[in-house]
C-alpha cells in the first residue's frame, strides 16, 4: 500500500473563532468549492458551542464535524469539561488532541493526550493527534527525537487495531499562525520520520495506512506542493479554514 491507497484528509481548526450566528454565511461562501473528490475527506473542527450549528449547516455535505479537545474522563464532577460521549452524541466524527496551544496554555502532557486518545477511541471518534517542535528545538537539532517522544507517549498502550483509527498531525510550532510555512522538504522529512516511528511500533504495513497530516500556515497557494509529498496525506488548517480559501485546499487535495 502506498500513498495512492491512503485517503487525504483536509481538516480545519477554527480555534476560538467564529460565532454560531456566523456559520450560515460562512458555509454559503465555502460550500460551492467544498466538493470532495474520490479519496478525499474533510472536516471542520470547531468550538464546542458551535457544533450543533455547524452540524446543521453541513447536513447534506460530505464535510464532517470535529471538535478541538475532549476530557480524558468519562463523566462526573469535572466542571467545564466535555466528554467523548457528549461529542459522539452530537454526531462529531473527529477530534483534535494534543494541539501545541493546549500543551502550551493548559500544560497538557503526552500522558494526558494518551488518555484523551483512549477516550475518543472508546466513543468511536477519530482522534487527530498533534505533535511538533518549537523553534528552539529545531535550532538545537532535536526535532526528530522530540516528535518521536510525543508520538510514542501519545500512543502508549494503543493496539494495532486501534492505531488504524488514529490520524497524526505534524505541526511545527514555529509555523503555526506565523505565515512561515515549513518547506515541503522540512514537512516531508518529519512526516516521513513519523511514519518510520509508526512502522517501528506497529510494522510497515500498518504504518503505510496511517494518515499523517501537516499543519502550519497551510493555505490555498502552498497546499498543492505540501500535499504532493509522499508522506503528507492532508492538512490541519487554522487561519485559512475560516475563509472560503479552505475550498482551494480541498481542491488541491482533489487534484493530488
Q: Is 234 in the site for ligand 13P (CB under 6 A)?
A: no
- The answer to whether residue 73 is catalytic is no
Concatenated DSSP letters for 166-209? -EEEE--GGGTTSS-PPPHHHHHHHHHHHHHHHHHHH-HHHHHH
- The answer to whether residue 99 is catalytic is yes
Which helix (DSSP H) or strand (DSSP E) does residue 56 occupy? helix 51-58
Q: What are phi and psi of 44, to 5 degrees?
A: -115, 120
Contact 194, 207 (CB under 8 A): no
List the Cα angle 31/36/41 in 5-degree steps. 110
Q: How far is the CB of 244 from ligand 13P (least distance, A)?
A: 15
Contact stretch for ligand 13P (CB under 6 A) within 139-147, 152-160, 187-195, 209-217: 209-217
User: Binding mask 80-109 vs ligand 13P (x if CB under 6 A, - otherwise)?
Assistant: -------------------x----------
Q: Is 237 in the site for ligand 13P (CB under 6 A)?
A: yes
Task: State which of residues 8, 9, 10, 13 lies at the interface with ligand 13P (CB under 6 A).
Answer: 13
Contact stretch for ligand 13P (CB under 6 A) within 18-26, 56-64, 158-166, 215-223: 215-223
Task: Pick the catalytic residue from 108, 148, 171, 245.
Answer: 171
Q: Is 218 in the site for ligand 13P (CB under 6 A)?
A: yes
Q: Residue 79 and residue 135: Cα distance in Å, rounded?
A: 35
Q: Is 256 in the site for ligand 13P (CB under 6 A)?
A: no
Concatenated DSSP letters for 206-242? HHHHS-EEEESS--TTTHHHHHTSTT--EEEESGGGG
Q: Residue 209 and residue 205: Cα distance in Å, rounded?
A: 7
Task: State which of residues 216, 234, 251, 256 lies at the interface with ligand 13P (CB under 6 A).
Answer: 216
Which helix (DSSP H) or strand (DSSP E) does residue 12 occupy? strand 8-13
Contact stretch for ligand 13P (CB under 6 A) within 22-30, 104-112, 146-154, 169-177: 169-177
Nearer of residues 215 and 220 to ligand 13P, judged by Cβ: 215
Task: State which of residues 126, 217, 222, 229 lies at the interface with ligand 13P (CB under 6 A).
Answer: 217
Site size toward ligand 13P, by CB under 6 A: 14
Task: State which of residues 239, 251, 252, 256 lies at the interface with ligand 13P (CB under 6 A).
Answer: 239
C-alpha dihedral, 170 to 128 to 229 to 10, nearest 10°: -120
Q: Is 150 in the site for ligand 13P (CB under 6 A)?
A: no
Buried residues in 78-97 as b, exposed as e (16+ CB within 10 A)? eeeebbbbbbbeeebbbbbb
Count CB neighbours of 54 within 10 A. 25
Residue carrying the nine cell digits 483512549: 118
Nearer of residues 102 and 195 to ligand 13P, judged by Cβ: 102
Q: Which residues here bind ligand 13P, judged by CB under 6 A?
A: 13, 99, 171, 176-177, 215-218, 236-240
Q: Which of the residues are catalytic?
A: 99, 171
Amino acid at each position: 500500500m502506498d500513498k495512492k491507497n491512503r485517503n487525504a484528509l483536509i481538516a480545519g481548526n477554527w480555534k476560538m473563532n467564529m460565532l454560531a450566528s456566523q456559520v450560515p454565511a460562512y458555509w454559503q461562501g465555502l460550500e460551492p468549492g467544498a466538493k470532495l473528490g474520490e479519496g478525499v475527506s474533510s472536516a471542520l473542527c470547531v468550538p464546542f458551542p458551535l457544533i450543533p450549528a455547524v452540524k446543521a449547516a453541513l447536513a447534506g455535505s460530505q464535510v464532517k464535524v470535529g471538535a478541538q479537545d475532549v476530557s480524558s474522563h468519562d463523566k462526573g464532577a469535572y466542571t467545564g469539561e466535555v466528554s467523548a460521549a457528549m461529542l459522539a452524541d452530537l454526531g462529531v466524527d473527529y477530534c483534535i488532541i494534543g494541539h501545541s496551544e493546549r500543551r502550551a496554555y493548559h500544560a497538557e502532557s503526552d500522558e494526558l493526550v494518551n488518555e484523551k486518545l483512549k477516550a475518543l477511541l472508546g466513543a468511536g471518534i477519530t482522534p487527530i493527534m498533534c505533535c511538533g517542535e518549537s523553534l528552539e528545538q529545531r535550532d538545537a537539532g532535536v526535532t526528530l527525537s522530540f516528535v518521536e517522544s510525543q508520538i510514542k507517549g501519545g500512543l502508549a498502550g494503543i493496539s494495532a487495531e486501534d492505531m488504524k483509527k488514529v490520524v497524526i498531525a505534524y505541526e511545527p510550532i514555529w509555523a503555526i499562525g506565523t505565515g512561515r510555512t515549513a518547506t515541503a522538504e522540512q514537512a516531508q522529512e518529519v512526516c516521513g520520520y513519523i511514519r518510520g516511528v509508526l512502522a517501528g511500533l506497529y510494522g510497515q504495513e500498518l504504518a503505510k495506512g496511517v494518515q499523517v497530516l501537516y499543519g502550519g500556515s497551510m493555505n490555498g497557494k502552498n497546499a498543492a506542493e505540501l500535499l504532493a509529498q509522499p508522506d503528507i496525506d492532508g492538512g490541519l488548517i487554522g487561519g485559512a479554514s475560516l475563509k472560503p480559501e479552505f475550498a482551494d485546499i480541498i481542491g488541491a487535495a482533489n487534484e493530488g
